[in-house]
Amino acid sequence: MAAHRIVTLPGDGIGPEIIEAATRVLDAVGSFTYEPHLFGGAAIDVHGTPLTDATVAACKGADGVLLAAVGGPKWDSTDPAAPRPEQGLLGLRKALGLYANLRPVRPLAALYDASPLKRELIEGTDLLVVRELTGGIYFGEKVRRADYASDLCEYSTSEIERIARTAFEAARSRVTSIDKMNVLETGRLWREVVSRVHAEEFPNVELEHQLVDSAAMKLVAAPRHFDVVLADNMFGDILSDEAAMLTGSLGMLPSASLGEAGDPGLFEPVHGSAPDIAGRGIANPLAMILSAALLLRHGLSLEAEAAALESAVDRALAGGLRTADLGGSATTAEATEAVLRELSNA
């Protein structure tokens, strides 16, 4: 069988360290070739832009894309003309047509005590945040003057329809759709369109609507209530980071960004580049490894390999693996080796 071609985007900070961990684990379950490209701040330093045309072309021609993390104080600026690493991420999502971001949140029994929430609150939680990724306020027209700034939030019916279908198709029993319809016109359109898609195409799935502030409270008060959380770009960004803390650390949360069937997906951990610990060899690679599992499942249709990788992470944690963010002392290399041992012992 021919090797799957994967573009890797190490990015900034701890990115190169955790990408190396992910590729080592992938090589233990399949045949892959890797094509690395500079991205984010690293690309700004060399090319003056966070995303080059060559990188876009390589990603479009790949079977899947693994992205580690971007950003850092070096590139922080309030100058609207200055290139920012995050612009590369938004640009890549747009170029690849990645409109659906899937963020599974499943606290592991071995890590219940690592969460800031009580064990009895998070036990049994298994939810999926489905975030619209290419519309909304992040992509709307932006205006900046000396004493004024604005960001336009806009959505079309077709954009809401397609992300709603993604959520309903992923649901086991219930979709909780998030909006701010009591204040925002986009929220009112969002609720109308989601309700129509539900009634016409998915009547056997329960649908509930929640205002984003109410949902934010319920997410920490009763997380087991949620099955699939459907949200726009900004609300989904915020709520998924909040949900990450149910697992005990941002270092545990993977994500998949998907477009139309057959197009390459983008797979990345939810956490940032952690420049304060870059180069020290102590970054938690598990979210990156679990993102590689999502690449196997959603990008390459290799379900058995994806399940094997996720099970290996579960068993390593059950066996006592803890990186610094989880209250332990395991290094990046030690965490990677622990997962590889579990794979070989399966």
* Alpha-helical runs (H) found in the chain: 15-27, 41-47, 53-60, 85-96, 119-122, 157-170, 185-201, 212-221, 233-244, 286-294, 303-318, 332-345
Task: Name the catalytic one among 60, 63, 151, 180.
Answer: 180
Question: For this structure, is 155 an active site residue?
Answer: no
Task: Name the catalytic one among 12, 138, 155, 232.
Answer: 138
Question: For this structure, is 314 an active site residue?
Answer: no
Residues with Cβ within 8 Å of 306's Cβ and at least 6 positions away in sequence, in order, are 293, 294, 296, 297
Distance between CA atoms of residues 32 and 64, nearest Å: 11
Residues with Cβ within 8 Å of 154's Cβ and at least 6 positions away in sequence, in order, are 135, 136, 140, 186
Task: Name the catalytic one among 63, 151, 241, 314.
Answer: 241
Question: For this structure, is 138 an active site residue?
Answer: yes
Task: Name the catalytic one among 126, 213, 263, 276.
Answer: 213
Question: For this structure, is 151 an active site residue?
Answer: no
Distance between CA atoms of residues 40 and 71, nearest Å: 7
Question: For this structure, is 263 an active site residue?
Answer: no
* Residues written for the chain: 346
Sign of CA dihedral 260, 264, 269, 272: negative
User: What are the residue numbers of the active site?
Assistant: 138, 180, 213, 237, 241
